[in-house]
Amino acid sequence: MQSENAAPARAKVGRRKFLIDRAFQLKYTVIMVVVGAAISLLFGAMMYQAHVEATQMMDLPDRFREAVADRDSALLWLVMAIAVVMAVALGLFGVLVTHRVAGPIYVFSHYVRVLGEGRFPKLRPLRKNDELKGFYEVLHEAVLTMREREKADGEQLKELAAAIEAAAKSPELAEALKPTVEKLRAMSEKMLEAAATEEPATPGQKAEAQSASAQAA
């Protein structure tokens, strides 16, 4: 039963969603579609006009003119069809290209949110075709540096609490310093725990963590 439940969960986690940031992706996709369709129609209209003018300059019999008129109509429909195909192709291409930018930004936003909460995100490498890999490397190094600094600060607080406790020469002084020592130790434990824990940041990571917990249960 567990394996049957785990399989759909893994399939759901691995499913790719192309429209991650709808506003951003659709905006630039529409721009690409409009520009591409306009260029296709412009060049198609110029070709059609040149063809019509060339045929008008010819001294053709009436029976040939009817055939040329049919060809002109077919050419016009062909130009329009090419413009539509170009618009659809650019639309799909626009969604794909913007997905390679919107995906990393979406992941980074979750990482920053977890960092803002005082925890460290579970980092995963970007996909092969994703953009912003340079920014990811900088972010990855920054998170590792912050984690090491958090761990070092936690160790220093732990040592400071022990030193203060050892420096108390009398029971009265030890009792007076006890709240401070406990506070320092609590801060130290919190910082060390944060430095040692990788928090699932993205919805996909959270779903994987929930699936792993369900399998373990």
CA separation for the pair 147, 149 (Å, rounded) = 5
User: And the tokens for 125?
Assistant: 């490498």
Rounded Cα distance between 55 and 72, Å, is 9
Bridge partners, 199 (sequence order): 121
**Total number of residues shown for the chain:** 217
Taking only the tens place, the pLDDT of each residue in 131-161 is: 889 989 998 899 889 889 888 988 988 888 8
Please give the pLDDT value at position 21. Answer: 80
- Which pLDDT score, from 0 to 100, does residue 64 have? 66
| CB-based contact 119:191 (threshold 8 Å) | no
pLDDT digits (tens, 9 = 90+) for 57-99: 666 666 666 666 677 778 788 888 888 888 899 999 998 888 8
Q: State residue 62's pLDDT score.
A: 62
Residue of 47, 130, 44 whose CA lies nearest to 87? 44
Beta bridge partners of 121: 199
pLDDT score for 65 = 64
The domain ranges of the chain are: 16-123
Task: Burial-class residue 107 by CB neighbours within 10 Å (0-12, 13-18, 19+).
Answer: buried
Q: What is the pLDDT of residue 1?
A: 39
DSSP state of 121: B
CA-CA distance, 172 to 183, in Å (whole number)?
18
Contact between 101 and 132 (Cβ < 8 Å): yes
Token pair of 26, please? 């659709």
* Alpha helix segments (H runs only) across 133-198: 133-167, 171-196
